[in-house]
Chain A
Amino acid sequence: MSVRRYRGLATAAVLALALSACGGDDEATTTPVEDKPQFKAGTTMAKLADKGSITIGTKFDQPLFGLRGPSGEPEGFDVEIGKIIAAKLGISPDKIKWTETVSANREPFIQDGKVDIVVATYTINDERTQVVDFAGPYFTAGQTILVKEGNTDINGPDDLAGKKVCTVEGSTPAANIEENYPEVKLELTDAYSNCLEPLRNDQVDAITTDNVILAGFVDQNEGEFKLAGEPFTEEPYGIGLKKGDKAFRDFINDTLEESYEDGSWVEAWEKTAGKVLETPEPPAVDRY
């Protein structure tokens, strides 16, 4: 894994956005926007296509997957996946309304209709499937631990007993730790990026969440942090949508499978997270 200066990526992103603002054309995505796609009347797809816009919930504070820059538009792999789905609905990227969905808000926002879909490092699990539906998975991550470079005490979740670990309220990693590693002292906040300063200053001993999120932080803060041990869970990322909307779920699953085949999934990865991480195989979607 090559470690790039994150600043280079940031400057490139800012310049790209500035240029795109001038040119009026988003250089980032090359998924062609469908021209007047037809959907069965009454389906969510038809409604969105008619409206010409879609509200997508994503993260705004996670490097590589969903990170918002000064322009106000987020960037990352989740964002690119969102754009692919919107394109299939005939909605161009500039008509997407991005909304921040911190971990704890993902279900409520879907249930209240504040967002149409959520693409936000959203792990599929049984508890959540009871209140929302998931299309995908479109990526498989794994929970792991971030510590300061030079820390040799912590090499896996069992070493966390008695230590202070920072994670996000309402997230799967938090629930996992609470259930399976009860001696861990959890410091909860609303966004993972808040955990970095406390880790840097030894106010917490480690941060735990999905490996791709942590890899983004490692890359962004060269030499300061490292991942400890191997991922110890499997976190399939899915696209959250309203429960019971089978037609919409099928549509998104179809779109995802198409993107695996026509190369747009790989393209989306390489434009974003692929700059830091290797390109994995996309997981098979689960049509439950």
Chain B
Amino acid sequence: MSLVLFDAPGPRARRRVTIWSAVAGVVIAALLVLAAVRLNQRGIFDADRWDIFTEDTATWEALFRRGLLATLRAAALATVIAMPAGALLAIARMSESRWVRSTAAVWIEAFRGLPVVLLMFFLALGFDFSIFNAVVGGLVLYNTAVFAEILRAGLLSLPGGQREAALAIGLTTGQALRLILLPQAIRRMLPSLVSQVVVLLKDTSLGFIVGYVELLRVNRELRDFFGSRYIFSLFLVTAVIYIGVNFALSRVAVYLERRGTAKAAGGVSTMQGAAGADTGGA
């Protein structure tokens, strides 16, 4: 509850709140029950709409092995390339040379302003990348720019004394960045970075549109193979897998944020949408 808006409740307020709570609860429960009943009427819960899951493991295997694994593979590769590239781009963005700085700035603004789908199609159609490479490439191009912005925010949030002290003891700018500043920035921005990795994972589903065989596309193939009877059950299982995996990753981000806040007060939290990390990129 927001204490900005509401004072601590007295007995009358508490009673009012409980009534409202109950009313809202009843309304929501009623809607859910209604939905369940409607679904049941359509036969969505009949056994023969779920038998492809209960009869054998082929469907599960298809979803996990060909679907989820492909999703994770693309996401992992893209993350591993984009993070270091983002760090380099962030450094370029803060370089002393105005030429390097502005080129980096233009690069970042351009790629952050383009849809990831467009980048994937660009690589697949324009440069004949294989579907997998186009998906990973599109994710890399976009997320390098986003990671760069996150890390730049991190670097800017460090107390200036760090950089000055590093230079004072004789380190070059490069060494100062590498040994002193970047590690601190990364530690501070870890929750933001992990949040962005979750976004990246979600974005692999854009590969669906480009033709990459990931979880959603396997879902569609199974629908084509088994027939429209299974549309709903297949979708539900696919959704649960997607949401489950993303949720698990988000929990890691929350855990890191909590640990970080305890250790390094002043870390920029995920909520402030640092550098656009949590604004809902598809």
Fill in one digit per residue for B50-81: 1 if any A CB lies within 8 Å of its CB, else 0.
00100010110110001000000000000000
What is the CA–CA distance of A18 and B225 in the complex, to the nearest angstrom? 16
A108 CB to closest chain B CB, in angstroms? 8
> CB distance A18 to B227 under 8 Å?
no
Chain B residues, CB < 8 A from A71: 58, 62
Q: What is the interface size of chain A, counting residues whose CB is below 8 A from a CB of the partner?
A: 28
Report if B102 contacts A (CB, 8 A): no
> CB distance B225 to A67 under 8 Å?
yes
Q: CB < 8 Å: which of A70, A100, A112 contacts B62?
A: A70
Fill in one digit per residue for A94-137: 1 if any B CB lies within 8 Å of its CB, else 0.
00000010100100100010100000000000000000000000
> CB distance A18 to B58 under 8 Å?
yes
Chain B residues, CB < 8 A from A17: 58
Report if B109 contacts A (CB, 8 A): no
Report if B226 contacts A (CB, 8 A): yes
What is the CA–CA distance of A44 and B78 in the complex, to the nearest angstrom? 36
B103 CB to closest chain A CB, in angstroms? 32
Which residues from 19 to 73 on chain A have a C-beta closer than 8 Å to any C-beta of chain B? Answer: 60-61, 63, 67-72
Report if A6 contacts B (CB, 8 A): yes
> CB distance B228 to A69 under 8 Å?
no
Report if A197 contacts B (CB, 8 A): yes
Chain A residues, CB < 8 A from B43: none
Closest to B225 in A: A69
Which residues from 23 to 49 on chain B have a C-beta closer than 8 Å to any C-beta of chain A? Answer: none
Q: What is the interface size of chain B, counting residues whose CB is below 8 A from a CB of the partner?
A: 22
Of the listed residues B125, B225, B227, the one surrounded by the most CB atoms of chain A closer than 10 A to its CB is: B225
Fill in one digit per residue for A1-19: 1 if any B CB lies within 8 Å of its CB, else 0.
0000011001000100110
Fill in one digit per residue for A178-209: 1 if any B CB lies within 8 Å of its CB, else 0.
00000000000010010011001000000000
B91 CB to closest chain A CB, in angstroms? 36
Chain B residues, CB < 8 A from A105: 211
B177 CB to closest chain A CB, in angstroms? 41
Report if B221 contacts A (CB, 8 A): yes
Do A70 and B228 contact each other (CB < 8 Å), given the known contacts A114-B130, A190-B211? no
Report if A221 contacts B (CB, 8 A): yes
Report if B222 contacts A (CB, 8 A): yes
What is the CA–CA distance of A220 and B231 in the complex, to the nearest angstrom? 14
A59 CB to closest chain B CB, in angstroms? 10
A215 CB to closest chain B CB, in angstroms? 15
Report if B224 contacts A (CB, 8 A): yes
> CB distance B62 to A18 under 8 Å?
no
A174 CB to closest chain B CB, in angstroms? 18
Q: CB < 8 Å: which of B128, B220, B221, B226 contacts A10?
A: B226
Closest to B65 in A: A72
Do A14 and B224 contact each other (CB < 8 Å), given the known contacts A72-B62, A72-B66, A112-B128? no
Of the listed residues B56, B223, B224, B228, the one surrounded by the most CB atoms of chain A closer than 10 A to its CB is: B224
> CB distance B226 to A61 under 8 Å?
no
> CB distance B227 to A70 under 8 Å?
no
> CB distance A197 to B225 under 8 Å?
no
Chain B residues, CB < 8 A from A196: 228
> CB distance A67 to B58 under 8 Å?
no
Q: CB < 8 Å: which of A6, A70, A190, A221 contacts B222?
A: A70
> CB distance B58 to A14 under 8 Å?
yes
> CB distance B222 to A193 under 8 Å?
no
Chain A residues, CB < 8 A from B231: 197
> CB distance A68 to B225 under 8 Å?
yes
What is the CA–CA distance of A63 and B225 in the complex, to the nearest angstrom? 8
Chain A residues, CB < 8 A from B221: 60-61, 68
Chain A residues, CB < 8 A from B62: 70-72
> CB distance B227 to A221 under 8 Å?
yes
Fill in one digit per residue for A205-225: 1 if any B CB lies within 8 Å of its CB, else 0.
000000000000000110000
Chain B residues, CB < 8 A from A60: 221, 224
Chain B residues, CB < 8 A from A114: 130
> CB distance A200 to B228 under 8 Å?
yes
Q: CB < 8 Å: which of B59, B66, B220, B227 contacts A220?
A: B227
Do A7 and B227 contact each other (CB < 8 Å), given the known contacts A72-B66, A105-B211, A114-B130? yes
> CB distance A102 to B225 under 8 Å?
no
A237 CB to closest chain B CB, in angstroms? 20
Fill in one digit per residue for B208-235: 1 if any A CB lies within 8 Å of its CB, else 0.
0001010000001111111110010000
Using A61-B221, A71-B62 as known contacts, list a sample of 6 further A-B pairs with CB atoms less than 8 Å apart, ordered by residue number in A: A18-B58, A68-B224, A70-B222, A70-B225, A108-B125, A196-B228
Listed A/B pairs (5) with beta-carbon separation below 8 Å: A7-B227, A61-B220, A61-B221, A68-B221, A72-B62
On B, residues with C-beta under 8 Å from A are: 52, 56, 58-59, 61-62, 66, 125, 128, 130, 211, 213, 220-228, 231
Top 8 A-B residue pairs of the complex, sorted by shortest distance between their CB atoms: A70-B62, A70-B58, A193-B224, A61-B224, A69-B225, A70-B59, A112-B128, A68-B221
